[in-house]
Structure 1
Amino acid sequence: MSADDTGDPLIAVRDLDVAFGDLEAVSGVDVTLESGSFVGLVGPNGAGKTTVLRAIKGTVDPDGGTVRLDGDPIDGLSAREVGRRVASVPQDTGLAFDFRVRHVVEMGRTPHLGRFDGHGPEDVAAVDEAMAAAGVERFADRSIAEVSGGERQRVLLARALAQGTPALVLDEPTASLDVNHAVTTMDLVRDLVDDGRAAIAAIHDLDMAARYCDRVVVLAHGGVHADGPPAEVLDAGAVRGAFDAEPFVGRNPATGTPAVTAFPRSDADLRRLHVVGTGPDAARVVARLAAAGHEVSLGVVPEGDAAAVAATDADAPVVTVPPFAGVDAASRAAARELAAEADVALVVDGRDDDRDRDGGDHDETGRDSHGSGSHGLDSHGPEHDVSGVASAAERVVEVPADVDEDDLLEAVADASTNPIEAEPTGSTEPT
């Protein structure tokens, strides 16, 4: 990424410390922003994202460290000069006065005007272009008090665009917007960055940050937890450490960027688990188990199956076969080896394509007559084979397709801590 003409970053925050009374908001934070780059600040509530942005705008005085704009210390710049270098879109869209929308956007030109200057042709053009870009020109004459929260957010974006600064600072710019306008806003910011401007934004949506940002800075516990390209930073470890959640980090099939799904923390002991099943239901089981920290494997599944994609995203071993090719002896043996190494095998929906449907005792509902556990998940020992693959494990749990995630984790814990005593079958190896 290139620096500006002076060789300095547009924004450079070094060793930033900010405290509010006895509360330390951020400590030792380093963030830089270069021309042509889009940096996302992500992190849990209270991590200091807004505080860092306020320091960049000059609206909060640091207790330590420095903030420089184009190489100049911000504490040596006038408010007007700061306004020529950085434009902001705040999270709070409230305005103290009842202005027309166009007048609000025109405020963006204030840093470029003298005390008694009126708006010239250049200012009028900048305002018109900004309103068109933000999609607010149709209610230019409406009172700002009469527009919705999402529309007001776009008006403030237009005001920042009209300011014509090389850098934009945005605090949750899509928080009040519907899906369409959120994507439109991020597309607009991305286009501005691609044209040479720069943007730094606090973003609560990790998928949105991964999709649009060149770099992601993860703030947690008042400091920088991780900093780098989204594909490197938004991994399970960083998200788990910052958000105190159990994340599954996959890949968005449309954009190729990381897609993060977070689950509540669980206290389960970690196990080695093998999943037998295909499709979205098996993919959901793989994702939840991997997010909880279990060591997961999968197979046999067709190449490109949703469960195979989830396993690959989780860096889990998976045995695949070509679509419609059927399960050959080599792939079955490889999957049975994974199952044999697992503490528990889970058969999603209680069956797979290779299940011996004539074996075992079944009641009139089709369920195995050996009963089910307290979570509604059928559990069996190796003497009750449910699959040519799963039978290699010493413990097998049948998982309904619509299993509740809490029940899934509890069933894994129960199956692991209360194993059925039995001799390994060994003799059930399929031919």
Structure 2
Amino acid sequence: MLDVSDLAVSFGEQSVVSGVGFSVDRGSLVGLVGPNGAGKTTVLRAVKGTLDPDRGTVRVGGEPISDRSAKAVSRLVASTPQGTALSFDFSVRQTVEMGRTPHLGRFDRMDEDDRNAVETAMERASVTQFADRPFTSLSGGERQRVLLARALAQETPVLLLDEPTASLDINHAVRTLELVRTLVEDGKTAVAAIHDLNLAARYCDELVLLAGGGIRAAGRPADVLTSDTLRDAFDAETLVTTQPGTDAPLVTPLADREAVDRRIHVVGTGKPAASAVSTLVGAGCRVSVGVVPAGDIAAERAQDLGCETVTVPAFAGIDDAARERAAELARAADAVVIAGETGDGNRPVVEAGGTCLAVEADESAPMSNGRDAVPMAALPTAVASLPPAAKRDATPSLNQSTTD
């Protein structure tokens, strides 16, 4: 439905994007992501025909938009802008009615079909209750939804959205993207510039990552949002795992800090253990996990991050082979970290290690296994302060008294 080929745009001597090309099938949502100033809005402006590119072609339904009038393009492509200002103080209904302009002649008045399109658009964007209010009386998020309704009223096959969730609270951001997904499933083609990588990963079929004037990566969210690619595009360190209940990537930015070169074995289950694994891997530790039930969130998180994980079937006991392998990993580690429930079957694993730290995701929770708990946020610092196993020699472990 939409094909962008070899697009190049510059302002004066400054090149903004060059060699940008991607295609969007009917019934698909493609997200444009990238750092500020990467050219996402510029690409959208070229696609909707309000900016003439220096080079390249934009085709809708196989036909170049450069061969069509502005009004004809507006019957094919609708858009929501990043800004929400209007030059005049129109009511919400009047603002949404502007979406019907491409379908009306110079002296035509709206008919019943036009009015139905306006009412349907307002209902879908959840702005019907604002119909008679001045547009300028609304909050930024409410204005964003009205402009989405205006775009829906155009009834075009292609929808372009420039930061559609930027002014919205999380509830309306999710509802907006759920609406876009519904439109896509009904056959509409959509392209959205989205600042939030995790929302983009969850709702988009494919992503196009723009940075440095061109495309750095394109494809499925899981293929685009990798730590290496994000480091290249954003010059930032990230931890990429999986969003709970989906196969979409979860991107967590990491503070700049020196990597903690420690080998850590994590014993525990559930969210505390999963958080400990993410925190430690993000800090640069080499992490192993187990014994943990297969399917537990801690096991899935560890496997997502490439950590060696010793698992047993859910609701099954810990067999000797699994216990011994986990104990070997604990003995080889600089420290064993206990996070969440461990069960009696993991006691030999904990005892096989030397230094032992307990961690709690909730600082108000009871201490784990009777040991003083390290807050999750302080875990990297606590681990970094430990000497590597090869240098500890006979140093007593932290869970033993010096008189043992």
Residue 230 (structure 2) aligned to one of 218, 233, 239: 239
Amino acid at match of 1:347: V
Helix, strand or coil at the partner of 1:415: coil
Match of 2:353 in 1: 390
Match of 2:305 in 1: 314
1:369-407 CA-to-partner distances (Å, cap 9, x unmatched) read: xxxxxxxxxxxxxxxx9932424xxxx352532546674
2:141 and 2:231 map into 1 onto residues whose CA distance is 31
Match of 2:366 in 1: none
Match of 1:346 in 2: 336
2:301 and 2:252 map into 1 onto residues whose CA distance is 12
Shift of 1:322: 4.1
Unaligned runs of 5+ residues in structure 2 are: 362-373, 397-404
1:400 to 2:359 alignment: yes
Match of 2:152 in 1: 161
Match of 1:409 in 2: 380
1:16 and 1:416 map into 2 onto residues whose CA distance is 54
Shift of 1:266: 2.9
Counterparts in 2 of 1:268 and 1:254: CA distance versus 1, 3 Å: closer
Q: Superposed, which structure 2 residues align to 1:60-139 within 5 Å?
A: 60-139=51-130
1:215 and 1:67 map into 2 onto residues whose CA distance is 19
Counterparts in 2 of 1:339 and 1:244: CA distance versus 1, 3 Å: farther
Q: Superposed, which structure 2 residues align to 1:324-363 within 5 Å?
A: 325-342=316-333, 344-348=334-338, 353=343
Match of 1:16 in 2: 7
Shift of 1:321: 3.0
1:352–1:387 CA contact under 8 A, matched in 2: no
1:15 and 1:26 map into 2 onto residues whose CA distance is 10
Helix, strand or coil at the partner of 1:420: helix
1:312 and 1:356 map into 2 onto residues whose CA distance is 19
Amino acid at match of 1:163: Q
Shift of 1:169: 0.1
2:30 and 2:159 map into 1 onto residues whose CA distance is 10
2:65 and 2:385 map into 1 onto residues whose CA distance is 59
Shift of 1:99: 0.3
1:253 to 2:244 alignment: yes
Residue 152 (structure 1) aligned to one of 134, 139, 143: 143
* Identical aligned residues as a percent: 55
1:218–1:225 CA contact under 8 A, matched in 2: yes
Residue 275 (structure 1) aligned to one of 252, 266, 273: 266
Amino acid at match of 1:390: G
1:280-311 CA-to-partner distances (Å, cap 9, x unmatched) read: 22211211222345432111223333322221
1:300–1:335 CA contact under 8 A, matched in 2: yes
Amino acid at match of 2:124: A
TM-score, with normalisation over the residues of structure 2?
A: 0.84
Structure 1 range deviating more: 30-39 or 160-169: 30-39
1:187-244 CA-to-partner distances (Å, cap 9, x unmatched) read: 2211111111100001122232222211111222222122112233333333343333
2:77–2:157 CA contact under 8 A, matched in 1: yes
Match of 2:199 in 1: 208
1:336 and 1:117 map into 2 onto residues whose CA distance is 80
1:247 and 1:42 map into 2 onto residues whose CA distance is 15
1:63 and 1:90 map into 2 onto residues whose CA distance is 22
The aligned length equals 384
Amino acid at match of 1:401: E
TM-score, with normalisation over the residues of structure 1?
A: 0.80
Counterparts in 2 of 1:188 and 1:397: CA distance versus 1, 3 Å: same
Shift of 1:90: 1.0
Counterparts in 2 of 1:312 and 1:328: CA distance versus 1, 3 Å: same
Shift of 1:34: 1.9
1:170–1:202 CA contact under 8 A, matched in 2: yes
1:73 and 1:416 map into 2 onto residues whose CA distance is 65
2:335 and 2:317 map into 1 onto residues whose CA distance is 21
Counterparts in 2 of 1:226 and 1:329: CA distance versus 1, 3 Å: same
1:210 and 1:146 map into 2 onto residues whose CA distance is 33
1:294 and 1:23 map into 2 onto residues whose CA distance is 42
1:332 and 1:324 map into 2 onto residues whose CA distance is 15
Helix, strand or coil at the partner of 1:118: coil
1:66 and 1:405 map into 2 onto residues whose CA distance is 51
Match of 1:367 in 2: none
Helix, strand or coil at the partner of 2:36: coil
Counterparts in 2 of 1:423 and 1:74: CA distance versus 1, 3 Å: same
1:65-84 CA-to-partner distances (Å, cap 9, x unmatched) read: 33233333333332112211
2:48 and 2:113 map into 1 onto residues whose CA distance is 25
1:35–1:196 CA contact under 8 A, matched in 2: yes
2:330–2:336 CA contact under 8 A, matched in 1: no
1:354 and 1:131 map into 2 onto residues whose CA distance is 59
Match of 2:39 in 1: 48
Helix, strand or coil at the partner of 2:391: coil
1:161-184 CA-to-partner distances (Å, cap 9, x unmatched) read: 111110000011122222332222
Shift of 1:355: 10
2:306 and 2:93 map into 1 onto residues whose CA distance is 52
Helix, strand or coil at the partner of 1:388: helix
2:46–2:53 CA contact under 8 A, matched in 1: yes
2:299–2:311 CA contact under 8 A, matched in 1: yes
Counterparts in 2 of 1:254 and 1:352: CA distance versus 1, 3 Å: closer
2:292–2:310 CA contact under 8 A, matched in 1: yes
Match of 1:3 in 2: none
Shift of 1:19: 2.6
